[in-house]
Amino acid sequence: MSRPSATSMSSNGLLLRRQLAELKKRPLEGFSAGLVDDNNFYEWDIMIIGPPDTLYEGGIFRARLSFPEEYPIQPPKMRFLTPMWHPNIYPDGNVCISILHPPGEDQYGYEDSGERWLPVHTVESILLSVISLLSSDTPNLDSPANVDAAKEVRESFDTYKKKVRRLVRRSAEEAFD
């Protein structure tokens, strides 16, 4: 299915364009956003700076936000392009946080419907949630996206920290290559 072009943009495309303009006008510390392709408001390139005083401090992490045509009724998907090691980020880089889960009840009972996607969320609120995820001293281990990372957090936190710090160093080196 083809996306609407920039010239014949739908209302959800216009909403995304406004959110991008707002982020460029008033950038927030810790991340930047831009379009992958200037003619497609549904694919965003994201750069996240590892939050200070966390395991991820000093890292420069690339990610992609992919918006469905039903945005803002349905949430976008976010996937890190930079390798990540975190219990709530799948091994393929897909981010598993409540506000990126489709609206409604959680069939497994882990999340309240109010924690899941709501159309009032913005790119800014998504990115702040991801920064909060990276900043948390205690990742959610109840329903991990990366079972191996969660197991390592539980059984050998020092090994987990070393692996994260290695990825952080590599991410910073690659960002400047």
Question: Which DSSP string do the residues of 20-88 spell out, in sequence order?
Answer: HHHHHHSPPTTEEEEEEETTEEEEEEEEEEPPTTSTTTT-EEEEEEE--TTTTTS--EEEESS----TT
Range of 43's domain? 11-175
**pLDDT the model gives residue 173:** 92
How many domains does one find in the chain?
1
Confidence of residue 140 (pLDDT cuts 50, 70, 90): confident
In this structure, is residue 1 part of a structural domain?
no
Catalytic residue among 96, 130, 134, 164: 96
Q: What is the pLDDT of residues 35-62, one digit of tens each?
A: 999 989 999 999 999 999 999 999 999 9
Which domain CATH number covers 105? 3.10.110.10
Q: Is the confidence at residue 4, as pLDDT, over 60?
A: no
Question: Does the annotation count 91 as an active-site position?
Answer: no
Cα–Cα dist 58/30, whole Å? 11
Q: What does residue 60 show for φ and ψ, rounded to 5 degrees?
A: -125, 110
In this structure, is residue 6 part of a structural domain?
no
In this structure, is residue 128 part of a structural domain?
yes
